[in-house]
Chains A and B, each alone.
Chain A
Amino acid sequence: MTARSPAPATSPGNEDERLVIEAAKMDPRRFAELYEQNFDRVYAFVARRAGHRGEAEDVTAEVFHRALANLGRFEWRGAPFAAWLLQIASNALADRWQRAARERGEPSPETGDPRTHAEAERRALLAELVGRLPDDQQRVIRERFVEQKSIREIARELSRTEGAVKQLQFRALESLRAHMRDVNE
């Protein structure tokens, strides 16, 4: 993927994707390409619905392991590969919820709303844009939002003032907003 690609989280062309899937059926090591192309959207889809980060990671891992194991059964019918992965994710989440709901005697929530797919795309794009921020902004964003560290803690780790870290946080979010807007226009 080129660094300047304007719409990084969108699927590659249908024909390209079909060829990669066919290649991966013959040689499962080619699955790595499908993983790279789809990781962010699957994780985004799952994370929004999972109770916590550990569950999001467990379910995401389950989705890709199931997909790899069942790739031979995937039939190309024109729908993107991502739709199949998100269906596996919906099923995996539903299984977990049903299990938990049975234990607690509660109904399980709905997973199949198509709006949620668009939301996964948006979040996947955001994840990719974070990867393109300057190193110091990227580090602040990851430590603040992924590691949940305080401004003070990050300032100490980076040997910067708290004001400087707040400014990096602000600039990073401004930059993400601008890029999201560019892509959506």
Chain B
Amino acid sequence: MSDEARIDRLARALEAILADPRASRPPADPELADLLRIAHDLHDLPRPAFKARLGADLLRRATMTTAVGKPAGETIEGVTAYLAVRPAVELIDFVKRAFGAQELMRTFGSGGGVHAEVRIGDSKLMIGGGGAWGGTPTPTGLHLYVPDADLIYGRALGAGAESLYAPVDQPYGDREAGVRDLAGNHWYIATHRSGGHVPAGLGTVTPFLHPRGAPELIDFLKQAFAAEEMETHRGPEGAIAHAKIRVGGSVIEMGEAHGEWGPMPTMFYLYVGDVDAWYRRALAAGAVSLEAPAVQPYGERRAAVRDAFDNQWYLAEPAASRSDPQ
């Protein structure tokens, strides 16, 4: 059999394996049996981004255990951006169509509001609100890493987003484009140019803030949520052009507000080891209370604070964990 014929036969056989990877079947083509067996095993290959994220999370826990000398239960698990917007249902549809998001759950509150969780790549986002919801919308900036920024930029426009800027090669090594979705969120769609398409230490989606006073916000995050500065780059005037801040197992990026890139106060959801302790710590760092710790009907103990930059931080843990720390 010629190489060309084998390449085509392999491609056809792989279609069948990928369509139903769990099915065990005798190899249809003895000449290709070895290759198909390997292909079958490749289905269980890990995602490099997952390995990097878990490694970073473990290191953070280990570091915190070493530095503070207390058990990892007292930590922040991760930070999820909560996009509270009026066209929530339309936004869920948009992230599915534009970015291949997977809807993990959707519920409706008694007041007619919607709450949903979606996964894009290795990252979770919460989307809530809806037409009947009367709160203040909190669209935000989000940094999205994809294998091909040009392609996803095109898909986002096709799904109804407006262009903020067309794909461009940035001096920091990313191919990057920007769009505004129908709810007002800014998506910075990027492909990292060296190594994998996601830079080490980041996930698929990272919230990106443009506060006025980035150093003060970073100080607040350190005091309130034990944040660590991973990287900070300053512009010629000394303003923070780009910083990566680790909060718990997650990262928040930011750059000082400038020009058309102004503040978009954001809502964050943090799963923590001890809501009451982190709530007190955030207040001591200068945050204002929005909600004192209380058990919610859906089984979480929750509190909320607002920082001086109008970002809202919801702190939550499973209600049962207060009486059973294991």
Residues in chain A within 8 A of chain B (CB atoms): 27-29, 31-32, 35-36, 39-40, 43-44, 47-48, 53-54, 56-57, 60-61, 64-65, 68-69, 122-123, 126-127, 130, 139, 141-148, 151, 156-157, 163, 166-167, 169-170, 173-174, 176-177, 180
* A35 with B44: CB separation less than 8 A: no
* B61 with A65: CB separation less than 8 A: yes
Among A65, A69, A127, A151, which residue has its beta carbon within 8 angstroms of that of B46? A127
Which residues of A sit under 8 angstroms from B11, Cβ to Cβ? 151, 166, 169-170
Which residues of B in the span 123-172 have a Cβ within 8 Å of any Cβ on A?
Answer: 147-148, 151
Which residues of A sit under 8 angstroms from B63, Cβ to Cβ? 28-29
* B55 with A69: CB separation less than 8 A: no
Contact with A along B13-39 (1 / 0, CB 8 A): 010001000000000000000110011
* B10 with A169: CB separation less than 8 A: yes
Which residues of A sit under 8 angstroms from B61, Cβ to Cβ? 28, 65, 68
Which residues of B sit under 8 angstroms from A151, Cβ to Cβ? 11
- Is B51 located at the chain interface by the 8 A CB criterion? yes
Which residues of A sit under 8 angstroms from B105, Cβ to Cβ? none
* B62 with A29: CB separation less than 8 A: yes
* A123 with B44: CB separation less than 8 A: yes
* A145 with B58: CB separation less than 8 A: no
Q: Which residue, of B38, B44, B51, B61, has the highest number of chain A Cβ atoms within 10 A? A: B44
Among A29, A32, A40, A157, which residue has its beta carbon within 8 angstroms of that of B147? A157
Which residues of B sit under 8 angstroms from A32, Cβ to Cβ? 55, 58-59, 62
B residues contacting the other copy or chain, number (CB 8 A)? 39
* B65 with A28: CB separation less than 8 A: yes
* A28-B62, A35-B58, A36-B55 as given contacts; A145 in contact with B42, CB under 8 Å: yes
Q: Which residue, of B35, B38, B66, has the highest number of chain A Cβ atoms within 10 A? A: B38
* A173 with B38: CB separation less than 8 A: yes
A149 to chain B, nearest CB (A): 9
Q: Which residue, of B11, B45, B63, has the highest number of chain A Cβ atoms within 10 A? A: B45
Sample 30 A-B pairs with CB under 8 A, ordered by A number.
A28-B66, A29-B62, A31-B59, A32-B58, A32-B62, A36-B55, A39-B55, A44-B44, A47-B44, A47-B46, A54-B119, A64-B58, A68-B61, A68-B62, A126-B41, A127-B45, A127-B46, A130-B42, A142-B45, A143-B147, A145-B45, A146-B45, A157-B151, A163-B7, A166-B7, A169-B14, A170-B6, A170-B7, A177-B34, A177-B38
Query: DSSP majority for the B interface?
Result: helix
Bound form: Cα–Cα A136–B6 in Å? 20
B27 to chain A, nearest CB (A): 13
Bound form: Cα–Cα A88–B151 in Å? 42
B248 to chain A, nearest CB (A): 13
Bound form: Cα–Cα A146–B11 in Å? 16
A23 to chain B, nearest CB (A): 12
- Is B43 located at the chain interface by the 8 A CB criterion? yes
* A167-B7, A169-B10, A170-B6 as given contacts; A39 in contact with B46, CB under 8 Å: yes
A116 to chain B, nearest CB (A): 13
- Is B72 located at the chain interface by the 8 A CB criterion? yes
Q: Closest 4 A-B residue pairs measured CB to CB?
A: A28-B62, A47-B44, A145-B42, A157-B148
B97 to chain A, nearest CB (A): 15
- Is B269 located at the chain interface by the 8 A CB criterion? no
A127 to chain B, nearest CB (A): 6
A84 to chain B, nearest CB (A): 16
Among A48, A57, A177, which residue has its beta carbon within 8 angstroms of that of B35? A177
Which residues of B sit under 8 angstroms from A123, Cβ to Cβ? 41, 44
